[in-house]
């Protein structure tokens, strides 16, 4: 019974009454996407996600669309449709939908939207959408998500998806463009080139020229290679080219390389596309073509209006000049070359394109291509950059990032954040909030979502922020694209806020960086996405990378609390409750074995809890605000109960005292309430941005709770079996000692030096319990200490692969 409270907590997390429309969205909501519930929409960021199976539709014009909720949450209603950037009309049609949903005709387009057909709770909905055959461009999936009658988020958008035309009007007037339409041959060539870009960096390696052309699909030459069964498939195209070639090299230069050529050869009756394998002769800048093409097979070739394309099958292993090229296991640089002319029996000068990959890698090792974000181009060269998570500036993957560039007395700041309502940078004399000059980049909820820049002040000795205005700050540029916000502004180098002088030209500062998903009235909201600071204090004119302030105390706090309450307490409580009549006649340090282990484990719990509390109060420097308050409040209750428990145990009455049963009840109650509060506190920590924990930690904790309850049930059943087998009920549980005068009713196994029945089952269960609890504890401690674990795991895999 003592764990029912914990189970009730998990159960209540899954409950939330809803009064949503059972029949689904009506057609009048097609454009506004707003439910007719008579209550305003939520202004905070939606907890739900809209994901697409790819960045582009497949060859059939279809793509998978998924609506999902966070762990332990749900939604009851929704409306989803695809839209173009220029219109609020639904486009395309849904061709596959799950049960409990229905198709909706919005405007003149049939089946262009999907909504619910019942108000059953949903956590994940998958649908397949098909694009119009004659549309080319980008679309965005827009969804309204309903949690209950009064709680819903309107017109949440997905990332853009690229759509390609699947049919064109065929003009018979000629092969060239005519009246804005492409001929069938021209459209076919264009479709082949566009298809080569698909899944670059995801399922195939791509190398294009000029640099950065792949993202915008503007390459003059492109080669791609991807695994295809046991072999590899190569695609190549070149603009105004007679040949295009891919090389596999040990360095970035020509010489001693295996080459696959795609050439357009002139014949007396026309031209023909062929594929050859050849070899770059070392130290000669010459290419020699082989007579046989074993291992290389042309699958498709096309040449139109000077543009060349081919698709080639390449075996995984091929011998070239007594050297074996193993594309699965060996690392190579990829070389790309294209030219406008051929030489007899070989390629010509590379006058269209010539480039190579910077690093060697296995062809089978598929990494996402690195984005070429101009924000990061001058980072730590001409401007100082600082972002979160740590190391994100180098990989151009920051959730939030700030930069400062100093030119004379001009201080130019740039701020950027992903899926945020605001991003802010502060000038601080320490690495904590309070008494700081802050510059905010804010997406206004009014005025069409425009981006504004403001000055504000972090109130000293408080967690509050006060907006000052726009004096001294000059917004140069701003944008909001796909949920990301960006702004660039200058700031007066010398300014005074709330009586405090800030001189950026002379004084050294820590930088504070924060971003969040919501705003307050005339202020930024809680920093639920990013809050971090630089590790060093320095002049802003000193260009160089900032390192992130250590999160050692936060990591240790989390590790100590998990080790204490998931690990030590979970074993110590079980020992005290179920093992008093086990190992009778044996002792440890002159104490019964159960008592020795219980005391040791609970004392360890006490030490780790007190140490963890001291560390976090030292790091935070005071009480917290926002969503962290609930975690902190329940954590304080846990710490107080934990602190008094051993003190009360030391003052316990003697066994024969009339007050001993009352002590037993209170000792049991305080210990179990502390354990429940501790587990609740750990659940609450998963949602905190500072913890940087992945969502799957919730499921690990749920698994722990389920296992812990199962162990109690098994041992309780074991106790019942033991009681039924014994002549009289034995003293197996502490609850049986909570009233005097009952000892005479029990068989005194201690005097008979014999364990209660089913001791073997209890010992086996304890062994299993300790092993599983140890495994869960170690896993959670590693996730906390190495947070963010996804980045650490990715970095480790990259190092192993290289």
Lowest-confidence region among 167-171, 181-185, 607-611: 167-171
Question: Do 279 and 321 contact (CB within 8 A), yes or no?
Answer: yes
User: Span 382-388, mean pLDDT?
Assistant: 88
604: nearest Cα among 566, 554, 634: 566
Is the predicted pLDDT of residue 749 greater than 90, yes or no?
no
Q: DSSP assignment of 662-694, as one string?
A: HHHHHHHHHHHHHHHHHHHHHHHHTT-GGGT--
Per-residue pLDDT reduced to its tens digit, 255-269: 889 999 999 988 766
Rg (CA), the chain: 34
57: nearest Cα among 156, 126, 160: 160
Lowest-confidence region among 448-452, 534-538, 547-551: 547-551
DSSP state of 44: S
Most confident of 179-188, 189-198, 375-384: 375-384
Is the predicted pLDDT of residue 15 greater than 70, yes or no?
no
Which pLDDT score, from 0 to 100, does residue 23 have? 63
With b for 16 or more beta-carbon neighbours within 10 A and e for fewer, the 475-504 pattern comes to eeebebeebebbbbbbbbbebebeeeebeb
**What are the φ and ψ backbone dihedral angles of 773, each rounded to 5 degrees?**
-60, -40
Q: What is the C-alpha separation between 681 and 231, in angstroms, rounded?
A: 52
Q: Which of residues 545 and 721 earns the better pLDDT score?
A: 721
Q: What is the C-alpha separation between 237 and 243, in angstroms, rounded?
A: 9
Per-residue confidence at 369, pLDDT binned at 50, 70, 90? very low
Which pLDDT score, from 0 to 100, does residue 268 have? 62
User: Span 207-223, mean pLDDT?
Assistant: 85
Per-residue confidence at 297, pLDDT binned at 50, 70, 90? very high
User: Span 677-694, mean pLDDT?
Assistant: 86
Q: DSSP assignment of 545-606, as one string?
A: PPPBPP-HHHHHHHHHHHIIIIIIHHHHHHHHHH-TTSSTT-EETTEEHHHHHHHHHHHHHH
Q: Does an H or E element contain 532, and which?
A: strand 530-533
Which pLDDT score, from 0 to 100, does residue 329 have? 85
Is the predicted pLDDT of residue 748 greater than 60, yes or no?
no
Cα–Cα distance list, 567 to 572, 662, 782 (Å): 9, 28, 14
Q: How far from chain centre, in Å, is Cα 232?
A: 31
Which pLDDT score, from 0 to 100, does residue 10 have? 42
**Domain 551-721+758-789 class in CATH:** mainly alpha
Q: How far from chain centre, in Å, is Cα 120?
A: 28
User: Span 349-368, mean pLDDT?
Assistant: 79
Per-residue pLDDT reduced to its tens digit, 570-612: 999 999 888 888 888 777 887 888 888 988 999 999 999 999 9
User: Span 49-71, mean pLDDT?
Assistant: 84
Q: What is the C-alpha separation between 171 and 187, in angstroms, rounded?
A: 11
Which pLDDT score, from 0 to 100, does residue 739 have? 41
Per-residue pLDDT reduced to its tens digit, 228-284: 878 899 999 999 999 999 999 988 888 889 999 999 988 766 678 899 999 888 776
Question: Do 34 and 154 contact (CB within 8 A), yes or no?
Answer: yes
Say yes or no: domain 380-539 is CATH 2.40.37.10: no
Positions of CATH 2.60.40.4060 in the chain: 27-163
Q: Which of residues 758 and 417 earns the better pLDDT score?
A: 417
Per-residue pLDDT reduced to its tens digit, 428-473: 888 777 888 999 999 887 756 678 889 999 887 676 788 988 888 8
Strand partners, 338: 244, 353
Q: What is the C-alpha separation between 682 and 694, in angstroms, rounded?
A: 13
Which pLDDT score, from 0 to 100, does residue 550 have? 65
Which pLDDT score, from 0 to 100, does residue 727 have? 52
Give the helix, strand, coil percentages of the chain, each rounded to 5. Answer: 30, 35, 40
Question: Do 195 and 309 contact (CB within 8 A), yes or no?
Answer: no
282-289 long-range contacts (CB < 8 A, ≥24 apart) are 282/255, 282/256, 283/255, 284/255, 285/254, 285/255, 286/346, 287/259, 287/346, 287/347, 288/346, 289/261, 289/345, 289/346
Say yes or no: domain 27-163 is CATH 2.60.40.4060: yes
Q: Does an H or E element contain 153, and which?
A: strand 151-157
Q: What is the C-alpha separation between 84 and 82, in angstroms, rounded?
A: 7
Which pLDDT score, from 0 to 100, does residue 799 have? 58
Which pLDDT score, from 0 to 100, does residue 798 have? 55
User: Span 166-191, mean pLDDT?
Assistant: 51
Per-residue confidence at 564, pLDDT binned at 50, 70, 90? very high
Q: Which of residues 416 and 689 earns the better pLDDT score?
A: 416
Is the predicted pLDDT of residue 174 greater than 60, yes or no?
no
Q: What is the C-alpha separation between 389 and 400, in angstroms, rounded?
A: 8
Per-chain mean pLDDT for the chain: 81
Per-residue pLDDT reduced to its tens digit, 314-350: 999 998 888 899 988 888 989 999 999 988 888 888 8
Q: What is the C-alpha separation between 99 and 83, in angstroms, rounded?
A: 24
Is the predicted pLDDT of residue 361 greater than 60, yes or no?
yes
User: Span 517-529, mean pLDDT?
Assistant: 84
Q: What is the C-alpha separation between 639 and 593, in angstroms, rounded?
A: 27
Question: Do 342 and 256 contact (CB within 8 A), yes or no?
Answer: no
Q: How far from chain centre, in Å, is Cα 63?
A: 22
Q: Which residue is associated with the tokens 């429309």?
A: 21
DSSP state of 693: -
Q: Does an H or E element contain 49, and which?
A: strand 49-52
Q: What is the C-alpha separation between 399 and 388, in angstroms, rounded?
A: 6
Q: Which of residues 723 and 135 earns the better pLDDT score?
A: 135
Is the predicted pLDDT of residue 393 greater than 50, yes or no?
yes
Per-residue pLDDT reduced to its tens digit, 614-625: 988 887 767 776
Q: Which of residues 425 and 269 earns the better pLDDT score?
A: 425
3-state class of 299 per DSSP?
A: strand
Q: How far from chain centre, in Å, is Cα 60?
A: 30
Q: What is the C-alpha separation between 93 and 112, in angstroms, rounded?
A: 4
Which pLDDT score, from 0 to 100, does residue 296 have? 92
Which pLDDT score, from 0 to 100, does residue 729 have? 47
Question: Do 78 and 110 contact (CB within 8 A), yes or no?
Answer: no
CATH number of 186-362: 2.60.40
Is the predicted pLDDT of residue 566 greater than 90, yes or no?
yes
Cα–Cα distance list, 103 to 80, 205, 524 (Å): 10, 38, 40
- Whether the CA torsion 633, 637, 642, 644 is positive or negative: it is positive
Q: What is the C-alpha separation between 763 and 774, in angstroms, rounded?
A: 16
Is the predicted pLDDT of residue 285 greater than 50, yes or no?
yes
Q: Which of residues 179 and 188 earns the better pLDDT score?
A: 188
3-state class of 467 per DSSP?
A: strand
Which pLDDT score, from 0 to 100, does residue 158 have? 85
The counts of H helices and E strands in the chain are 12, 44
Q: DSSP assignment of 225-266, as one string?
A: EEEETTEEEEEEEETT-SEEEEEEESSSSSSSEEEEEEEEEE
Question: Do 159 and 484 contact (CB within 8 A), yes or no?
Answer: no
3-state class of 209 per DSSP?
A: strand
Per-residue confidence at 372, pLDDT binned at 50, 70, 90? low
Q: What is the C-alpha separation between 255 and 284, in angstroms, rounded?
A: 7
- Whether the CA torsion 414, 419, 420, 426 is positive or negative: it is negative
Per-residue pLDDT reduced to its tens digit, 98-148: 888 898 888 888 889 999 988 888 888 989 999 988 788 889 999 999 998
Per-residue pLDDT reduced to its tens digit, 32-54: 898 888 888 888 878 898 888 77
Q: DSSP assignment of 477-505, as one string?
A: EEEEETTEEEEEEEE-SEEEETTEEEETT
Q: What is the C-alpha separation between 451 and 416, in angstroms, rounded?
A: 11
Q: How many residues does the chain have?
A: 802
Cα–Cα distance list, 665 to 52, 428, 580, 671, 743 (Å): 55, 52, 17, 10, 17
This prediction has a pTM of 0.43
Crossing angle of helices 660-685 and 552-562, in 10° steps, is 140
Is the predicted pLDDT of residue 751 greater than 50, yes or no?
no
Question: Do 126 and 65 contact (CB within 8 A), yes or no?
Answer: yes
């Amino acid at each position: 019974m003592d764990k029912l409270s914990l189970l009730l907590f998990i159960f209540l997390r899954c409950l939330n009454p809803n009064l949503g429309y059972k029949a689904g969205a009506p057609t009048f909501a097609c454009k506004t996407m707003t439910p007719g519930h008579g209550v305003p929409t939520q202004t905070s960021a939606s907890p739900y996600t809209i994901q697409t199976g790819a960045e582009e539709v497949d060859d059939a014009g279809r793509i998978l669309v998924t609506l999902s909720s966070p762990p332990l949450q749900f939604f009851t209603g929704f409306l989803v449709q695809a839209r173009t950037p220029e219109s609020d009309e639904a486009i395309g049609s849904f061709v596959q939908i799950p049960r409990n949903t229905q198709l909706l005709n919005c405007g003149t387009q049939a089946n262009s939207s999907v909504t619910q057909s019942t108000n059953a709770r949903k956590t994940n909905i998958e649908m397949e959408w098909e694009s119009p055959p004659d549309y080319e461009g980008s679309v965005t999936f827009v969804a309204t998500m309903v949690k209950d009658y009064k709680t819903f988020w309107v017109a949440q958008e997905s990332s853009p998806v690229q759509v390609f035309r699947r049919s064109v009007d065929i003009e018979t007037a000629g092969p060239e463009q005519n009246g804005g339409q492409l001929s069938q041959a021209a459209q076919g060539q264009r479709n082949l080139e566009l298809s080569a870009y698909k899944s670059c960096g995801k399922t195939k390696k791509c190398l294009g020229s000029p640099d950065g052309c792949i993202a915008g699909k503007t390459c003059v030459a492109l080669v791609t290679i991807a695994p295809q069964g046991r072999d590899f498939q190569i695609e190549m195209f070149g603009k105004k080219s007679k040949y295009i070639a891919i090389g596999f090299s040990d360095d970035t230069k020509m010489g001693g390389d295996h080459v696959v050529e795609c050439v357009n050869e002139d014949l007396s009756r026309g031209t023909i596309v062929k594929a050859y394998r050849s070899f770059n002769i070392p130290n000669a800048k010459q290419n020699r073509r082989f007579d046989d093409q074993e291992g290389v097979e042309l699958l498709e070739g096309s040449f139109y209006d000077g543009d060349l394309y081919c698709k080639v099958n390449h075996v995984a292993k091929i011998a070239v000049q007594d050297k074996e090229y193993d594309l699965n296991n060996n690392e190579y640089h990829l070389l790309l070359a294209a030219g406008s002319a051929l030489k007899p029996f070989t390629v010509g000068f590379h006058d269209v394109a010539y480039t190579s990959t910077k690093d060697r890698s296995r062809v089978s090792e598929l990494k996402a291509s690195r984005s070429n974000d101009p924000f990061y181009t001058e980072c730590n060269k001409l401007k100082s950059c600082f972002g979160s998570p740590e190391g994100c500036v180098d990989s151009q993957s920051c959730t939030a990032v700030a930069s400062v560039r100093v030119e004379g007395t001009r201080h130019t700041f740039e701020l950027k954040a992903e899926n945020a309502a605001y991003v802010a940078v502060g000038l601080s004399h320490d690495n904590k909030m309070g008494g700081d000059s802050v510059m905010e980049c804010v997406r206004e909820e009014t005025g069409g979502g425009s981006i504004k820049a403001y000055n504000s002040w972090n109130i000293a000795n408080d967690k509050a922020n006060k907006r000052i205005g726009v004096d001294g700050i000059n917004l140069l540029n701003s944008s909001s694209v796909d949920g990301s916000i960006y702004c660039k502004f200058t700031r007066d180098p010398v300014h005074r806020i709330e009586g405090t002088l800030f001189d950026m030209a002379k004084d050294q500062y820590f930088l504070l960086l924060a971003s969040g998903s919501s705003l307050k009235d005339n202020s930024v909201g809680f920093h639920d996405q990013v809050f971090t600071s630089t590790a060093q204090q320095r002049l802003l004119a000193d260009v160089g990378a900032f390192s992130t302030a250590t999160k050692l105390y936060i990591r240790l706090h989390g590790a100590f609390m998990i080790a204490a309450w998931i690990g030590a307490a979970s074993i110590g409580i079980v020992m005290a409750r179920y093992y008093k009549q086990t190992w009778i006649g044996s002792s440890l340090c002159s104490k019964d074995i159960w008592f020795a282990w219980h005391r040791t484990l609970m004392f360890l719990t006490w030490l780790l809890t007190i140490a963890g509390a001291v560390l976090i109060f030292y790091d935070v420097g005071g009480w917290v605000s926002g969503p962290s308050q609930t975690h902190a409040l329940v954590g304080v209750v846990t710490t107080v109960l934990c602190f008094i428990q051993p003190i009360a145990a030391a003052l316990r009455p003697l066994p024969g005292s009339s007050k001993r049963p009352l002590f037993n009840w209170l000792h049991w109650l305080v210990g179990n309430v502390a354990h429940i509060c501790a587990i609740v506190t750990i659940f609450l920590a998963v949602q905190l941005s500072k913890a940087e924990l992945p969502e799957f930690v919730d499921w690990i904790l749920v698994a722990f709770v389920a296992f812990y309850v199962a162990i109690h049930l098994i041992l309780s059943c074991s106790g019942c079996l033991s009681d039924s087998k014994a002549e009289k009920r034995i003293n197996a549980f502490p609850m049986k000692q909570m009233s005097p005068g009952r000892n005479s009713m029990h068989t005194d196994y201690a005097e008979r030096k014999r364990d209660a029945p089913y001791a073997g089952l209890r010992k086996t269960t304890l062994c299993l319990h300790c092993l599983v609890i140890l495994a869960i504890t170690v896993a959670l401690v590693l996730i906390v200490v190495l947070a963010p674990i996804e980045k650490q795991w990715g970095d480790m895999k990259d190092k192993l692969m290289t």
